[in-house]
Structure 1
């Protein structure tokens, strides 16, 4: 019977591996782990065990089947096959573990199927990786792999050296029983409903729940559920949810002021990569980082309570151009057959005779952005391949100074009226900008310096644009694609990560000053089009920012949402159902609107 100890020993080997991987995660993110007390850290390991047992069960299926075959074929090279199978699994899991360490730093949630959409663009992926401490991560991964290979040889391999030497019926039966027994840890117990991610969520501190997650289990689960056509955010009967959403968008103002001097202005939208409010002076951020944008805001119309709809560039572009909200567990941009059904500001303006275009210094193929832009009818797309090789000096493509220069040249040669959008990139990691204003090699300082660089070339562009003949008939909207966890290492759900700038400027802008209306990226397109007396009814997920009554903003993060109201902000984690952030004075009865928004917007995504 001692031979059968190899079954539980092999299973426990993987449990030890996952416990060690969780320890590495907690230590690597020590700045966040420091907010957990000792009891909460113990709970991270305790609650994580169910997922550890589950994925260990999956790993054990093949070795247990090989051991079962050994009861029939005693000369079968079970030891060698299981050894190399285990080594391969160790290598793969160590790679995923270290990759997740930095992805969590950047994205604020554990790795799932999200990175798969970026595999088509290895250059863009390499640019992101280049800002990571690659040597440190490789060292951690290699050390983990070597340690567990040694442990495997001492703990498991020796027990596999001599197994079954003759065929016996009871051995066959016991092996089958042990294989069948794996179903219990795999499904998380003997309860009626199989385990899901919410079973390991135990705390109102979202980081504690995320630390408890078993990484490979999470990746597998997200892949298995990636194509689900079922709405996971059902809080109310759908008609009740739609009624609540309609209440949010009901027009409250008797009249809405005009902010442009002509009904056919040129429209320019400048999207700034990662311009978080934490760096923006006019929003109360660190002083001296964005002097140009602050000056533009002082001379134009500056929105102070404005939020990104999501946390990725492609999601921000969808919200800005199509007034379409972010999906918390996926993105509509992944499915071109859906994006072709979206409205867009450029499509509507094109129907009015506007020349439309989009300019970016990187690869537009990234994350299906190009397919979306083509689906929504842009006349002209400019990406890094239209710039000379001498200007492709950053790992992402072309630095912002060259892109702004090209953008200005193109505008000067364009027939009016025009709608043109431009997306910057230099303030994306690895922050390798050709200007050093803030000295320092740490990531926060490099990011800060890149923001200053893009701000400086933005100011130069606006100064030159003011001298062009088209300026007096142009409205320019300047907005960020999303916020950022730096500075401050914001958790993925907190409002400060989503707070971003929006500034209107241009010669056709007839009003200026500060606007405290709460809004989000989905409100930009309907606000502009309303000023042109155009029908904005198809932009049902946006509202007019000039309607200052009962304003709100909604943002979605990985499997959760935030609701911004005049009474404050609350965020809800959908997995646990907990409110994980709550401003004092926030009326929690208002959460029904956020839940309804989450439900109806995702249902709309499914039906596109």
Structure 2
């Protein structure tokens, strides 16, 4: 046991440092001005007692990375021939990544550069340790010191982050912290503008260097007497025992966060544990962080919300006879309106879609609800406004909802979700499979049906051919079908088959991705026109979201505007709709065109009805926006509200129906009516989801 403790010296010293920092963090948060609460003696004991146990076992998980690093420290691996074999493996791996044909290169972005940098450093350092035995101790000490410094820096940086998060929200990490990882640029900009960055980071750096120096002085004897294989097995056994214990102890400790005092529960918890929970749960409680209205006041907005707070069903009627045409919904990956010629693009990268738009019911002023695929899928499937946190698609409670498929299925349709990638990605298989869709994804294609694939799946052409095959089989059954196809090719790494378009797939350019998807859609429609079912089918084409979401304001409108059109030659007359429209209105409009009569829970509305009131919803994971009457209202956590006047920017080169670019100028005086209207909509949507009132209707 003594030898095991000796060989746990480094791990133990860093664990003690982490526990001290966590203890000091609790004290600082306890006495923070925002912690406006009194605590009983029992609550104080639980805060620091249970808090200490939580911290200890959280470190058991986080520290596993450290002890894995320590276990691989060895002198024997540099002996012949092992050292040369290991070096050869590193060199081969580096050559593989440099070849440009690795999985990292397939995905694209900065991943290949990160991979090259990491493997290069590992190769260089291993070679230095292998060939310079005389300086091996010094090199190893330098690398050891760097590793300890990184751990210490992360511990201190986490404590500082927890302080600022508490300073803003009065809680430990929640889904907003996860959101901050997604919107890193905006967060860094906010920090740069809000805090004295140079003194802050300088202080963190000085503390980290000082703590690292102390830990190394107390721990470097570990390097002089590395554990042998037998001792390493014992250490691994102890660590595994601690990990297994943590799996049982942490849930028991968490269950003790049961005080009626919210601050007591938050202080007792561990920030990293809460971050992990937020990351896996993907939800943010609207009623905890956003401004709300009394239930009696919500009644004033029922007509606007299109929903009653308690009874959330509407009777959709039509004077015409129901038309049981097939419906094919195509959500196109990252298709910003700015790619189309109609909105001023001169590069001719969407020639087919530009032509198809002229032959369709074309919504020229339509906005996506979010900036992720799962948010777009939520909008056209559930037809409800975005709610705080992650899309419903990725939540645990995502099945048996009221969806477009549930309406079609009630009318005798078969419903399918088609996706060129693996449907398990982004929880799509769980969501669509649990909501009345049959799934056709990459796994459904035979090897001879795949001409090209990348990290995201088969190219859009391959999936277009599969879609035609699937629809031909469906047509033979005599039942109408509703199929939802999600494209994949207009996504990083933007690779696709060569020789199809004028931009090479090796260029890995966004414009190439857009042009190839446009080309693939043209091939799909050329094939579809040859099928017997084509004339009895309504095609709906809409982007899932824009290609980019960053801008000057929290919710830059031009980063949410997307094209959408409904195409059915001989059935739907070409027309341009320049009303303000939301992505959640697309499918209710299609159902209206088909004269469907049904009980609805949709927040989305039929845009073609005379009583339609133009408005749109745009959001991030936490900023919820509502566009109406040339004003953008944004509600945010901490019960914040902002409003912007939307000042139209004229563009003489565009038609009036496409000249819809705005400057967002913040209002100094809040329009109270629009503020309450915004709150009423998002509060109602959040309430209905939370109370499980958006479930499929039993028939």
- TM class by shorter-chain length? 0.5 to 0.7
Alignment of 1:134-153 (within 5 A): 134-138=111-115, 150=142, 153=145
* Match of residue 346 from structure 1: 405
Is contact 1:519–1:553 with CA below 8 Å preserved after alignment? yes
User: Is 1:541 aligned to residue 603 of structure 2?
Assistant: yes
Note closer, same or farther for the CA distance 1:561–1:469 as it changes in structure 2 (3 Å cut).
Answer: same
Partner of 2:416, secondary structure, is: strand
Answer yes or no: is the 8 Å Cα contact 1:90–1:148 preserved in 2. Answer: no
Aligned to 1:396: 456
Matches within 5 A, 1:197-212: 208-209=189-190
Matched, 1:358 2:417: yes
**Aligned counterpart, 1:324:** 384
TM-score (norm 1): 0.65
Superposition deviation, residue 361 in structure 1: 1.2
- 1:274 Cα deviation from its structure 2 partner: 1.1
**1:237 aligns to what SS in structure 2?**
coil
Deviations 1:122-180 (A, max 9, x none): xxxx78982221243357779999999959849999xx9xxxxxxxxxxxxxxxxxxxx
Residue 189 and residue 539 in structure 1: after superposition, are their counterparts in 2 closer, same or farther (change >3 A)? closer
Aligned to 1:432: 495
SS at match of 1:231: helix
Q: 1:167 — aligned with what?
A: none
Paired with 1:598 and 1:465, the residues of 2 have a C-alpha distance of: 40
Does the alignment pair 1:592 with 2:676? yes
User: What SS does structure 2 have at the residue aligned with 1:232?
Assistant: helix
Task: Find 1:130's aligned residue among 90, 107, 127.
Answer: 107
My pick for the range that moved more, 182-191 or 407-416, is 182-191
Could you tell me how far 1:558 is from its partner in structure 2?
Answer: 2.0
* 1:218–1:425 distance in 2 versus 1, CA, 3 Å: farther
SS, match of residue 454 in structure 2: coil
Q: Which moved more, 1:147-156 or 1:224-233?
A: 147-156
TM-score in terms of structure 2 length:
0.57
Matching residue within 302, 315, 318 for 2:362: 302
The counterpart of 2:560, out of the listed 492, 498, 515, is: 498
Q: Matches of 1:565 and 1:504 in 2, distance apart?
A: 24
CA contact (8 A) 2:631 2:644 kept: no
- Report the counterpart of residue 19 of structure 1 in structure 2: none
Distance 1:85 1:464 in 2: 57
Q: 1:405 offset after TM fit, Å?
A: 1.4
Q: Conserved in 2, the CA contact under 8 Å of 1:471 and 1:508? A: no
The change in CA–CA distance for 1:598 and 1:128 in structure 2 (over 3 A counts) is farther
Q: Are the aligned partners of 1:272 and 1:479 in contact in 2 as well (CA < 8 Å)?
A: yes
1:460 equivalent in structure 2:
523
Q: Against the structure 1 CA distance between its residues 195 and 480, is the aligned structure 2 distance closer, same or farther, given a 3 Å change threshold?
A: same
Q: In 1, distance between residues paired with 2:471 and 2:56?
A: 67
Question: Deviation of residue 275 (structure 1)?
Answer: 0.9
Alignment partner, residue 66 of structure 2: 88
Aligned in 2, Cα 1:538/1:389: closer, same or farther, shift over 3 Å? same
What SS is found at the alignment partner of 1:364? coil
CA drift at 1:552 = 0.5
Q: What CA distance in whole angstroms lies between the structure 1 residues aligned with 2:360 and 2:140?
A: 60
Which of these residues, 304, 312, 315, is aligned with residue 248 of structure 1? Answer: 304
SS in 2 for 1:583: strand
Q: Deviations over 1:516-540 (max 9, x none)?
A: 1222221122212223333454233
Quick one: structure 1 residues 301 and 325, their matched pair in 2 at CA, closer, same or farther if it must change by over 3 Å?
same
Please name the residue that 2:465 is paired with: 405
Q: Among residues 272, 290, 293, which one is paired with 1:237 in the alignment?
A: 293
Unaligned regions of 5+ residues in structure 2, if any? 1-12, 23-47, 71-102, 126-138, 153-157, 196-200, 202-269, 308-315, 648-664, 693-699
Equivalents in 2 of 1:377, 1:292: separation in Å? Answer: 32
Measure how far apart 1:545 and its partner are.
1.3
Q: Name the SS of the counterpart of 2:562 in structure 1.
A: coil
Residues 1:431 and 1:91: Cα distance change in structure 2 (over 3 Å): farther
Q: CA deviation at 1:281?
A: 2.2
Change (3 A) 1:560 1:346: same
For residue 517 of structure 1, the aligned residue among 571, 579, 583 is: 579
Q: For 1:325-360, what per-residue CA distance to the aligned partner results, in whole angstroms no more than 9, with x for missing partners?
A: 333312322345x33331122222222222322221
Alignment of 1:370 with 2:429, yes or no, is yes
Task: Give the equivalent residue in structure 2 for 1:577.
Answer: 640
Equivalent residue in structure 1 for 2:375, among 302, 305, 315: 315
Q: Describe the shift of the 1:478–1:186 C-alpha distance in structure 2 as closer, same or farther (beyond 3 A).
A: closer
Deviations for 1:93-119, whole angstroms, at most 9, x for unmatched residues? xxxxxxxxxxxxxxxxxxxxxxxxxxx
Deviations 1:247-276 (Å, cap 9, x if unpaired)?
42459xxxx999999722211111111111
Aligned partner (choices 424, 441, 454) of residue 383 of structure 1: 441
- The answer to whether the Cα contact below 8 Å between 2:359 and 2:569 also exists between their aligned partners in 1 is no
Query: Following superposition of structure 1 onto structure 2, how do residues 171-186 of structure 1 map, counting pairs within 5 Å?
Result: none
Question: Could you say if the C-alpha distance between residues 250 and 135 of structure 1 is closer, same or farther in structure 2, counting changes exceeding 3 Å?
Answer: closer
Q: 1:134 to 1:407 in 2, by over 3 A?
A: same
Against the structure 1 CA distance between its residues 140 and 580, is the aligned structure 2 distance closer, same or farther, given a 3 Å change threshold? farther
In terms of mean alpha carbon deviation, does 576-585 or 264-273 score higher? 576-585
Deviations 1:427-446 (A, max 9, x none): 12111112453469776xx1
Label 1:144 to 1:475 Cα distance change in 2 as closer, same or farther (>3 A).
same
**TM-aligned CA deviation for residue 594 of structure 1:** 2.4
Cα distance, 1:455 vs. partner? 0.5
Query: Judging changes above 3 Å, is the alpha-carbon distance between structure 1 residues 189 and 322 closer, same or farther for their aligned structure 2 residues?
Result: closer
CA contact (8 A) 1:274 1:480 kept: yes
Q: Distance in 1 between matches of 2:286 and 2:305?
A: 26
Q: How far apart in 1 are the matches of 2:446 and 2:161?
A: 57
Aligned residue in 2 for 1:51: none
Q: Deviations over 1:381-410 (max 9, x none)?
A: 211112122415222221111111121232
Q: CA RMSD in A?
A: 5.1
Shift of 1:458: 0.8
Alignment of 1:185-224 (within 5 A): 194=170, 208-209=189-190, 221-224=274-277
**Alignment-derived partner of residue 604 in structure 1:** 688
User: Following the alignment from structure 2 to structure 1, what is the Cα–Cα distance between the partners of residues 116 and 358?
Assistant: 49
Deviation at 1:593, TM superposition (A): 2.3
User: 1:67-78, aligned counterparts within 5 Å?
Assistant: none
CA deviation map 1:284-342 (0-9, x unaligned): 44541211111000111110111112222222212212213333312322345x33331
Q: Deviations over 1:53-75 (max 9, x none)?
A: xxxx9xx979x999xxxxxxxxx
Where structure 1 has 5 or more consecutive residues not aligned to the other structure, the ranges are 1-5, 16-56, 67-80, 93-125, 161-181
